[in-house]
Structure 1
Amino acid sequence: MNIQKLPWAGIRIETGDITILVDPITRILEEFGGAREPMYPLGSFGKADAVLITHLHEDHFDPVAIIEAYGSAIPVYLPAGMEDATRAVGLTNVNGVTVGSSFELGGDVRVTALPSVDGLGDMQVAWVVEGAGHKVIHCGDTLWHGYWWNIAQHYGPFDAAFLPVNGAVLELPGMIPSGQPICLTPEQAVAATAVLGATTLVPIHYETMNYPPIYNETPNIATRLAAASGGKVNIRLIKTMETITL
């Protein structure tokens, strides 16, 4: 299984003859300051057989880019209940998946939707992808929750966990500020990796966006990841375009 990092929170998984994109995007909206790293057309990453979307926030779902690169009929999988909204933006092969459900994508590739908790209360799932004797989990932009132990017991262990680490605090117009992170902090991501029984934490969802006071990324992410791991959790920091092999 080969996994390539896409910008922000996206990854590209190659297992056997199947290639899957998770949360691929090509832009960060200007209302959040735009992207602080290079963005690329999705076609730059090669072919895709299916796209998995954890949730419909615009920093995780880029329908225009998906259609431009792969056509409107590429299979797109997302949390059940979001199908109509996804078809409304031009995608035609839309598949809603309920939490706990699995499906196959040819060969021995199996995908499962599991619980994930969105920091703004919107519908979200985590995706588990299994193939070629390996298993990884991508948790979107989840915050800390109580499902980790159940996931570990029934679906783990994992070769790698792709988890957000930037502990972003939002101050959106019309919302009372909480001062609380809407996704995992570095310390929480390390703890989640340990509970999940994942061999490696691959951080996602950091460095690309920071636009105070609206979007505030937590500081010193790499240093805090290393300190929290204490050498007990393997952390693999990879840059966009870089590929790792499991």
Structure 2
Amino acid sequence: MIIQRLPWAGIRISEGDIVIVIDPISRILEEFGGAHEPMYPLSFFGNADAVLITHLHEDHFDPDAIIKAYGAAIPVYVPNEVAETARAAGLTNVNGVAVGMSFEIGGDVKVTALPSVDGLGDVQSAWVVEGGGRKVIHCGDTLWHGYWWGFAKNYGPFDAAFLPVNGAVLRLPGMLPSGQPICLTPEQAVAAAAILGAVRLVPIHYGTMQNPPIYIETPDIADRLAAASEGKVNISMIKATETVTL
């Protein structure tokens, strides 16, 4: 299994002849300060056989880019509750997936939807992808939650966990600010990866957006990951376009 980082929170999984992309995007909206790392058209990374979307926030769901790169008819899997919204964006082969449901892609890759907790209270799923004797989990932009132990018991251990690490604090118009992170901090991501029994933590969801006071990324991410992970889990901080082989 070969994993390639896409910008922000996206990854591209190659297992044999099957290619799956999770949360692929080609832009960051200007209200979040635009992109602070290079962005690419999805076609830059090659083909895909299926798309998995954790949730429909615009920094995780880019239907125009998906259609342009892969065609409107590519199989797209989303949480069951938001399937109609995804179809309304122009995608013609949207599959709603309930939590706990598993399905196969190409006969060689198994995907399972697990619960996840979104920082704004919106519907979100985590995805477990298995193939070639390897297993990974991608958790979107999850907060800390109590599902980690159940994930480990029922689905683990994992060869890699793709977890957000930037502990971002939001201040959006019309919302009373909480001052609390809307996704995992570096220390929380390490703790989650350790509970999951992950061989390695591949950080996602960092380094791309910073637009105070609307969007504030937590500081010193790399140093904090290194300090928290010592003796617990390996960290693979790969940049967009870089790959890791499991």
Does the alignment reach a TM-score above 0.5?
A: yes
- Counterpart of 1:145, as a letter, is H
Distance (whole Å) between structure 2 residues aligned to residue 232 and residue 64 of structure 1: 40
1:134 aligns with 2:107: no
2:155 is aligned with 1:155: yes
The code of the aligned residue for 2:5 comes to K
Aligned residue in 2 for 1:33 = 33
Cα distance in 1 for partners of 2:5, 2:160 equals: 13
Deviations 1:150-181 (A, max 9, x none): 01000000000000000000011111110100
Distance 1:115 1:76 in 2: 18
Shift of 1:233: 1.1
Paired residue total:
246
Partner SS state of residue 81, structure 1: helix
CA-based RMSD of the aligned residues comes to 0.5
- Structure 2 gaps of 5+ residues are none
**Corresponding residue for residue 239 of structure 1:** 239
Secondary structure, counterpart of 1:162 in structure 2: strand
- How far is 1:106 from its partner? 1.6
**Mapping of residues 182-201 of structure 1, within 5 Å:** 182-201=182-201
Match of 1:14 in 2: 14
* Distance in 1 separating the partners of 2:158 and 2:229: 17
Give the counterpart letter for 2:73 in structure 1.
Answer: A
State percent identity of aligned pairs. Answer: 78
1:46 matched residue in structure 2: 46
User: 200-209 or 82-91: which moved more?
Assistant: 82-91
What SS does the aligned partner of 1:192 have? Answer: helix
- In structure 2, the residue matched to 1:212 is 212
2-side partners of 1:243 and 1:162: how far apart? Answer: 13
Q: C-alpha deviations, 1:131-162, integer Å up to 9, x for none?
A: 00000000000000000000100000000000
Looking at structure 2, the residues matched to 18 and 108 of structure 1 have their Cα atoms a distance apart, in angstroms, of 8
**Quick check: 1:62 aligned with 2:62?**
yes
User: Residues of 2 paired with 1:65 and 1:89: CA distance?
Assistant: 11
Structural mapping, 1:62-141, within 5 Å: 62-141=62-141
Separation in structure 1 between the aligned mates of residue 210 and residue 203 of structure 2, nearest angstrom:
16
1:84-105 CA-to-partner distances (Å, cap 9, x unmatched) read 1111110000000000000000
SS at match of 2:3: strand
Q: Secondary structure at the match of 1:158?
A: coil
Return the alpha-carbon distance in structure 2 between the equivalents of residues 172 and 87 of structure 1. Answer: 27
How far apart are residue 232 of structure 1 and its match? 2.3
Q: Which amino acid aligns with 1:123?
A: V
Of the structure 1 ranges 106-115 and 197-206, higher mean CA displacement relative to structure 2 is found in 106-115
Give the stretch that moved more between structures: 175-184 or 229-238: 229-238
**Take 1:180 and 1:83, find their aligned partners in 2: how far apart are those partners?**
29
Which digits, 9 at most, give the CA deviation of each residue in 1:152-211, with x for residues without a partner? Answer: 000000000000000000011111110100000000000000000111000000000011
Residue in structure 2 matched with residue 143 of structure 1 by the alignment: 143
Following TM superposition, where does structure 1 have runs of at least 4 consecutive aligned residues deviating by more than 2 angstroms?
Answer: none
Give 2:3's aligned residue.
Answer: 3
Q: Which amino acid aligns with 2:125?
A: V
Q: TM-score normalized by structure 2?
A: 0.99
SS in 1 for 2:96: strand
Partners in 2 of 1:93 and 1:166 — Cα distance? 33
1:221 corresponds in structure 2 to: 221
Which has the higher mean CA deviation after the structures are superposed, 99-108 or 127-136? 99-108
Q: Distance in 2 between matches of 1:226 and 1:244?
A: 18
Amino acid corresponding to residue 196 of structure 2 in structure 1: L
Runs of 5+ in structure 1 lacking a partner? Answer: none
